[in-house]
């Protein structure tokens, strides 16, 4: 049975469940951006997922190159984590061309099996950019980002994890007292890290470094 969770992620030290509940009551409207919402569809494989292919992300926004921006930031954040090998974007796009897959559309299940095999990947990450915008004020810019990502072990019939995550730059000032995050690149890096923290806690296991 699939498990669905709303997971608050806090830099520094984690909130207790009671404190988080009180915080949400004190800040109506923040629930949508309080943390990743994920569904675990299958158990994690026994073997670690060392070699990861991040497939081109679909961009459903008007933000120019929004999919590429988050895609490359996400890959960079994953690449910094010990025990993971991130397959190069050029290698992935080469297989897309061989299979005649449009990078602006999602590959079929059969195509993902071929992608994983040819790239010798242990897992595939795919997804879409739902919201990406920068609300510009007189003195500051407030970026907003929402993504939906999927983690699928190579050869699996269905994903292991699907995750929706929405943040605004202002969340870190209101909830976490970070100060305003006022660039899309900074916000994207934080969102990527929060998703990866969650996935590593629920089955994305690296190789021993």
Global pTM value: 0.81
Question: What per-residue confidence (pLDDT) applies to 10?
Answer: 37
Tokens at 203, concatenated: 């089955």
Decide if pLDDT at 172 tops 50: yes
User: pLDDT tens, 54-80?
Assistant: 999 999 999 988 999 999 999 999 999
Q: Which single residue is written with the structure tokens 């800040």?
A: 27
- CA angle (193, 68, 109) in 5-degree steps: 85
User: pLDDT tens, 103-127?
Assistant: 999 999 999 999 999 999 999 999 9
CB atoms inside a 10 Å sphere around CB 17 = 9
CB atoms inside a 10 Å sphere around CB 121 = 26
String of DSSP letters for 94-129: HHHHHHT--TTSPPPHHHHHHHHHHHT-SEEEEEEE
Phi first, then psi, for residue 137 (nearest 5°) are: -105, -175
Query: CA–CA separation, 84 vs 78, rounded Å?
Result: 7
User: pLDDT tens, 4-34?
Assistant: 544 433 333 333 333 333 333 333 344 344 5
Cα-based torsion angle of the residue sequence 183, 189, 190, 192 in order, rounded to the nearest 10 degrees: 140
**Which parts of 34-104 fold into alpha helices (H)?**
66-79, 89-99
CATH architecture of the domain with residue range 49-201: 3-Layer(aba) Sandwich (3.40)
CB atoms inside a 10 Å sphere around CB 165 = 22
122-133 mean pLDDT: 96
Question: What per-residue confidence (pLDDT) applies to 20?
Answer: 33
């Amino acid at each position: 049975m699939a498990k669905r969770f709303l997971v608050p992620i806090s830099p520094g030290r984690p909130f207790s469940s009671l404190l988080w509940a009180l915080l949400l009551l004190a800040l109506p409207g923040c629930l949508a951006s309080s943390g990743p919402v994920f569904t675990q569809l299958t158990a994690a494989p026994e073997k670690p997922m060392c070699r990861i292919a991040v497939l081109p992300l679909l961009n459903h926004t008007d933000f120019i190159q929004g999919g590429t921006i988050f895609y490359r930031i996400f890959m960079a954040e994953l690449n910094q984590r010990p025990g993971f090998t991130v397959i190069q974007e050029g290698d992935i796009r080469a297989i897309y061309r061989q299979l005649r897959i449009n990078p602006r559309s999602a590959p079929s299940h059969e195509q993902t099996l071929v992608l994983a095999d040819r790239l010798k990947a242990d897992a595939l990450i795919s997804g879409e950019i739902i919201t990406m915008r920068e609300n510009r004020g007189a003195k500051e810019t407030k970026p907003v980002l929402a993504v939906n990502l999927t983690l699928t072990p190579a050869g699996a019939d269905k994903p292991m994890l699907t995750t929706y995550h929405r943040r605004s730059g202002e969340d870190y000032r209101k909830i976490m007292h970070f100060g305003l995050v006022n660039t899309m690149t900074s916000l994207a890096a934080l969102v990527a890290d929060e998703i990866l923290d969650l996935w590593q806690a629920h089955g994305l296991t690296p190789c021993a470094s």
